[in-house]
Each structure stands twice: as structure tokens, then as C-alpha cells.
Structure 1
């Protein structure tokens, strides 16, 4: 038969209190951590759904629940439950299984899009992260910044109208600038224009564009356009793209007569023994990287030539203003020159 022991009972009591404290203490208790984490996950799912619906609607496409389940990386049951919550909260509506943003849902979606694009602009202008990392890092931050923090970030960046890909950044009131131009495959041969936007989704196509080293802000001339390929010249180089890849480039045609001089090229194309004058730095070079190049003497009118060729191919050393400076090929590709 069990014999009551006051010392054992007291020990069990304090252990129980300790366990309950660990589980339920305010803010840091396991119960609250798990509960808040669930709420956080729910918030992320809601915001990702809103953003997807915004992009679908902006591109003129309809989306149903089945499509949404395919494009989002969440548990299907979780998405279904969150859709019910969003409907109750008047963020979305449905018509014959087609999901639509309500006015409140669109306003919320614009706030998420604004944070994402501002953060990409910050990463491009203020950090050394490569462009391959911008999107994923912005995806994480878009769920964390408050309204006031977002406005502070915008002010810190000078309230930019476009992100580094050329996508418009919504203002705090929801106003959006217009992207100037049309998709590259729609341009006839001999059109001259400027690249104003590079779509970064889907990722597989964006990576192909990055691999081609195509720069936003570059002047181009279309030389071939058919169902098989789009060919254009820009900055002394020829680019050949499949139409599906070219469709991710928006180009603004230039109405007035513009002459693309044959001897204007990228510094990366300069050969040993050749010399050139710098005519500018591509808009692709931003923030600290751009300022560093200017500080090193890569300014308009400066004379430059190769000082030392790396037998391994990268980097090469360039002689400018009496100083030998090593640049990687991707850095040199952002400096525009006019060969002598």
C-alpha cells in the first residue's frame, strides 16, 4: 500500500511547478513558442498566397485552388485551411473555384510586394550579395518588416520607384509606376531599344539570362526574330535567346535615330595590346561596387589597356591612370569602353 511521504510529495509538487513554468511561462514558454510559431507560419502562408494571387491577376491569368497547391511549397491541408481563414477575413473570394483578391486582399498583397522589392533594392545597392541571392533573401524578409520599418527602409533608399530588376515598387499608398516597354519577342528586326525590365521568375529562365550576362539599362539592336530564336547586339556582343527566355526581357523602343557604334564594347572584351577610353559604367553596377570603381579611376574619358593577362583567364590586370588594377570578368563586363 502506498505510504504518504511529505518530502516526496513536496518534491513532486516543485517538479510539477517547474515543468508547468517551462511549458507555460509568458512569451518564452514552450506552449507559447509553439503557438506563436504556428501563427507565424500561418501568416507566411497567407502572405505567400496573397502575393501569388497578385502576380497571377497582374499577368491576366486566372488561378484556382489546384494551381495554387502546385505553386506553393506548403502542406496542401494547411493551404486549404488558410484559404478558409482568408475567405472569412475577406481577403479573397471565389467564383466557380477561381480565386480572386478582394480590395482588402489586394492592399495587403501590395504591402508584401513593396517589402520584397525594397529589400531587393537594398541588397543590390547596399550589400555585396550576388544577384542570384536577392530574391531568396527578400522572400525571407518580406514577412518580417513592420509598416514603419518598411517606410524607414524606403526613405533610406531614397524612395525608389523600381527594384533592381526593373519591377515597380508600390508606394506606401499603393501607387505603382508603369514599366516602359514590351516583351523582346514583340520587337521587329532593326528595332533599337533599352532593356527596362528583367523578370526573375521562373528561376530556371532567370538563371539563363544571368548566364548570358545581359544587363538592365543596356541599349540593344534586334537583328533576328523568329519562332526559333531572338538575336540582338548590345555593347559589342551578340546574344542569342530562345523566345521563351527572351520574353522575360522588357525593352523600350527608342523612337529617335540612335547609332550604336561598332567599337563600343565591354571592358571584358578588350584584348592584349588594345587600348580604349572608358565611356561609362553599366547600371548593372550599383552601390558600393560602383563607387569603388569610380574611386579607382574608372571614369568617363579615362584611357585603359590590359597590363597583365592571367594565364588562368580571370582576373586580368588593367592599367588605368598609371595604376594596375585587377578585375574579374564579370566586373569588367560592367564597364563600357570605346576602342581606339
Structure 2
């Protein structure tokens, strides 16, 4: 079964962060004629023809500003000022941009977690040398709320089970990295999730709630490899040779939903980087499509202007890729 790719003259997002229900997306866009001036942009995806709405503030954003779409169409913005991490909700108000200040967190590092199922709340993780703090930064009653402190230095972030209760984090502790599951309804109770070998570094990259399919990167086979498993399954993680592409870097970025109890049938979209024909913008990234039941990766040219590493599957097996060009600044292929 091959991926069907279609082209429409409207688009998704740059940096392309998509809400959990697929209705909205958000990105930082460059202002026309000012390559160093950035502003948040919301993309509406649930209409017959997706469209983009700029949400500029009183001053340009820093390139490091994070944006995340909420289910109600507002966009969460995470700005950094020294060690203050400031959170604001943006929404269109006719010709201008409305803002709802949410408060700030004072710490060193902090980054937004992927959009949570439900889309009404947003979370962030602040890694430290000894422990990592998980914050509810939007959707709470009184601004940012500290939810849990997880021993070890945590990175990544994948939601499990289709709700915003169970969060998988890659935890570095005692010189090894293992993925753990954090129960946010039980005060951050931690349980092991990935422990392929005692001396391996195991990281969870993607998880699909319908099929239970997990995409994993681990050095348990002897070097860093991509593998797959099933949440709650009894079979060991498999590391197929088809995902070993010499001299290339392969990164999964989307799993096809809706394949209940059939993880082997799920389409997995891959970003492939390495030597190869460059597109007009000079990128050396292209697309791969793989399924656990397949024995090879289908390599495909990405559309011109692809927002590299961004995309999503429909339940019918259609892979959608956002792109932006001079002729079509907002497009989905």
C-alpha cells in the first residue's frame, strides 16, 4: 500500500505544530521584506480550504519563541526573557491581535511539550541536573501550575493513551537514558516504560494511541538504531534492517492513526537527511514512508518548500505535508 499524496493551494504550519484534534496549527513566520522579523501565525485546518491568520504582537518575536495551537483556535506563545519564561495566549481581533497573559515560570531551561490530547491544556518540562519539573502552563485556574518533579534530567515528551494523563519522557539518570511514564493524575508517579537492555540508551520518539505502535531509538543492538514495538505488547522491540539507510539520518515524525489493533499496518512518515539532490532552497531532506509489515522504505521527493519534518496522516492513509513558497505561501501537499 503506497501513500497517497495530494496538493492543495493552502497550508499548515512552519515549524508546524498541530493541535491534537487536527483543527489548527501554529508556526513562527518571517515578515515580508524583513527576514529577521518573526511573528506567530495560526493555520485553520478544519475548514474546506485551510488558511493562515497572522498574529503579530507589538514587536517581532525572537526565533527561539515557541508557539502551540489550542483547540479553541488561540495560540500559546512561550517567550524567554533571561530566566523568565513568559506565557501568553494570542487570538485575532479584527485587524489586531488580542493577548491573554498567563504568567511566567522562573527557571533555566524550559520547553513546551507536544500538544496534549483534548487541546484545552498545555504543558512544559524544565530539565535540571538532578530533577525535571513538569508545569501546566495553559488551561489551569491561576496561571502556570507546578505538577510534578521527576528525578533525573528529562527530555522528549510523548503522550500515551489518548489523554493528557500519561506522559512519556526520556530520563537521563546514572549515566543512562531510559523512557519513563509519568502519571500526572497521581502527582507525577514514575514507572519504567523502555528498558531494552540494562546498559542501553532507549528513547521513545512517537506513539499512536489507536494501534499502540511505538517508534524507538536505541543503541541496544550495538549502535543507534530505529526500532518499533507495541505499547503493552509481549514481543520484544524489533530493529528492522529496512530502517538502516547507510550514510543517512532517518527521523520518524508522524504515525497513521485509526489502525486499531493492527500496528503492523500503520504508515510511518520519515524525514531523511543526507547526501542527495538538493531542492532549490538548498535542503538535503526528503521523505520516506514505511510500515512495520513492509521490508523497505519508500523514498519520495518532498514538495517544494516543505516545512521539513512536518506532516500528518489521515485515518484513510493520506499523508499531508505543509509547504510554503513564494507562489503559494500556505500550502498542503
Q: TM-score, normalised by structure 1?
A: 0.27
Larger Rg computed on CA atoms: 1
More helix by share: 1
More strand by share: 2
Q: TM-score, normalised by structure 2?
A: 0.27
